[in-house]
A = this chain, B = another copy of it.
Amino acid sequence: MNIRHLTFRLLQVYIAVIRTGSISQAASQLHLTQPTVSQQIKRLTEAVGEELLEIREGQYQPTYVGRELYHAALDALGRFDDFNSFLSEAAQGNKGHFSLGVVTTAQYVLPLLLSPYTQQYPGVDVTFNIGNRSSVLQRFQNQLDDLYLFSHPPTGDHVVSGRFLRNPLVLIAPLKHWAAKRKSLKFSELINERFLMREPGSATRMMFENWLRDQNYQLHNTLQIESNEVIRMSVETGLGLAVLSEHTLAQANAKVALLPVKDFPLISHWYLVRHSDRRLPVAAHNFIQYMNAHLSEWVDEKYIRNELDLLLGGRG
């Protein structure tokens, strides 16, 4: 058949004829005159090069070939119906819903990302699913969420991930601490200091502990505090040293000293991740675009490492 002159409209007309079993009825259903439909069918028949209709039991019924065309037409039109629903979804843009799988260790970055966005797009509904790394990984495998937030992205074929935020972890001390006066330090000199730590599982603590393990250091005097803010204030008041994300200091204009220890600040990143097989809901796509465009407005330039483009390519 000659597909070049095939119109979707022609298929619509054809479908109406098959459904009604009559050219006149199809015509009135489509608000056309009977000859118009007659002609369209003729044209379609010519395009296909085979008879499509035959009269059986007083009705127009598709021939064997016509029946196949009918199904092809239904499928093609159906596909574009889907595309249309997608379009109207996209047209809304500011409404919608998406879900976010978040590793527990990442839950502290969330507000930073989401609050500007949700203020801008109050119509968008975001669902969080917070779990430990392995449970979020499993959610990823089963494609349960639209987007994922990791501090270390999973590996594998279907992972599409992009870093977007540097997360330097600095070693801080009270301003009056003896080490604050030094131009350079070895960590071994601090081994007996009291360290204020986040709870186990915190990304910051994990990073720090991994580093300690790598370097074969063991701390003797630690104190667990469950909030970055309280840790910062405690360091200010001289309670001990701590490793904290630099962000938490910058935001608060902290009165602490950064200790110039080799390897510090420890570098890590936040990653936004999606599954390559899953079509991103419009809202999720918007969210990434929004972050991509406005990241610099609410985060200091030096913390930005924007690879979010990577998430916007591909099938979606």
Contact = CB atoms under 8 A, between A and B. Distances in A.
A67 B4 contact: no
A285 interface: yes
Q: Is the interface of A mostly helix, strand, loop or mixed?
A: helix
B80 A3 contact: yes
Interface in A138-153: none
Contact of A76 (B4, B50, B69, B76): B76
B315 A67 contact: yes
Contact of A68 (B64, B77, B83): B83
A75 interface: yes
A86 interface: yes
Interface string A61-89: 10011011101100111011011101100
Which of A8, A67, A315 gathers the greatest number of chain B CB atoms within 10 Å?
Answer: A8
Given A3-B80, A48-B87, A64-B282, 4 more contacts: A5-B9, A6-B80, A50-B90, A68-B83
Contacts of A75: 76, 79
Copies assembled:
2
Contact of A3 (B1, B8, B67, B312): B8
Given A64-B316, A315-B67, A84 B8 contact: no
A49 interface: yes
Contacts of A8: 3-4, 6-8
Given A69-B83, A79-B75, A64 B5 contact: no
Contact of A84 (B3, B91, B282): B3
Contacts of A12: 3-4
Nearest to A286: B64
